[in-house]
Structure 1
Amino acid sequence: MKILNATILAKVKYATLFAISYLDRKGNAKRWHLVSRGDQPKCITGERRRPDAAIIVPYHRNMDKLVVIKEFRIPVGDYLYGFPAGLLDPNETVAKAAGRELREETGLDLVRVYRHSPALFSSAGITDETIAMVFAEVEGTPTARHNADSEEIEICLMDRQEIRALLNRTEIVFSARAWLAMDAFAQQGKAYLIGD
């Protein structure tokens, strides 16, 4: 397999659609279409270490609960249960972006980052977008007053039992990453978040 080049097909504010020309394993010329957050796709630049976005898995230390958000997501056409998340600004660290997005979406303050993942591909069949999962301790009183007009977010503080009950509801729409993190929290509690 060999990547040859990338051609821009369409560009909007936060995404670019590319046609990727490549050779398959038998040397046949092929095309693949992908969406990228960057000006060039990662398969051309080779940059795979800096994530495009941070997803915060927030643990409210005073309440001993996970902070889950229920947010209307346009691509899904429904409310999605997940975690606060957002794009990293240029030259912004993962921890700084996590604190900023957490504050904007929940009104909560980041106390400390327990750990975070390396850059992880979010859906490699269609996009080269990468995210970092940030496991963090937070404090404060939740509020949606900092939400942008384009955001409709309900903030839910949930203990392990409430998370288990939520995960068993088949009518609920989840982010895949959030479902996995919630399931691990329901099984292991805070130990999962801090990496013990």
Structure 2
Amino acid sequence: MMEPQINRDKSRLLADTKFIKLYDLEYQDGTHYYDASRRGPEELFAYKPAAELTTAPPDAASAFVIIELPNEAPKLLLFYEFRYPTGSYMLGVPAGLIDPADFQGPDPVKRAMIREIKEETGITVTSKDTVEVISPCVFTTPGFSDESNALVKAIIHLDDLSSLNHKGAEGTEVFGDFRLVDRKAAMDLLKAGRDETGHYLPLITWAALTYFVSGLWQEI
């Protein structure tokens, strides 16, 4: 397939804030396209050669956390978080940006995810738990943004749920209740396409539910 070629000289940064930037990307055929990105001009995916798309690190990581308790069926850990663009609490998973410091050591995605799990759930990952990257980079809305996430599987063994808390919330983060769902409850959420409040599901949450009910977490 012939790829349209970007004209870097005519592409422009339209807005620059602490957490997001807006670019007007112009291609050589005259096409203009807006790109909301966390990345600076030199790190935009649109500017990278196609080969680099296979090695570029993601912006953030999201975890599909499966909790294993004694004598109970495994459960997927979800929680409610207030999402400002929708103006409501939505059912989500532990997630967060990969900090520059994470790249100073091995396994930056895993390092970031272990930190975010602790901050957003109170769970300390130990040597008896499993944390594995299941997808190094996915784009959720590439027609609007180049924001990217690594997807991580975390199998956590707990004696009870007393450690769960949101005390590590930072900045604008506002969390609601935890929700642990077994396979049937996860299937019900997928069938409904909504949570019990009637709100639609974020795509990453839908992916977590699908991954859990399919049993893929036991295979890959």
Instruction: Identify the TM-score tier after normalising by the shorter chain.
Output: 0.7 to 0.9
1:151 corresponding residue in structure 2? 173
Question: What code does the residue aligned with 2:39 have?
Answer: G
1:78 corresponding residue in structure 2? 88
2:140 corresponding residue in structure 1? 122
Deviations 1:65-96 (A, max 9, x none): 11112111001111211211110001520001
Aligned-pair identity in percent equals: 29
Q: Does the Cα contact within 8 Å between 1:102 and 1:109 map onto a contact in 2?
A: yes
Structure 1 unaligned segments of length 5 or more: list them: none
Q: Output the TM-score relative to the length of structure 1.
A: 0.87
Q: In the TM superposition, what are the counterparts of 1:112-191 in structure 2 within 5 Å?
A: 112-140=130-158, 141-148=163-170, 150-153=172-175, 154-169=177-192, 170=194, 171-186=198-213, 188=214, 191=215
Count of matched residue positions in the alignment of Structure 1 and Structure 2: 189
1:15 aligns with 2:30: no
**CA displacement at 1:139 relative to structure 2:** 4.2
Q: Output the TM-score relative to the length of structure 2.
A: 0.79
CA 75–87 in structure 1, closer or farther in 2 if over 3 Å, else same: same
Question: What code does the residue aligned with 2:130 have?
Answer: R
Distance 2:114 2:200 in 1: 26
Larger strand proportion of the pair: 1
1:90 aligns with 2:100: yes
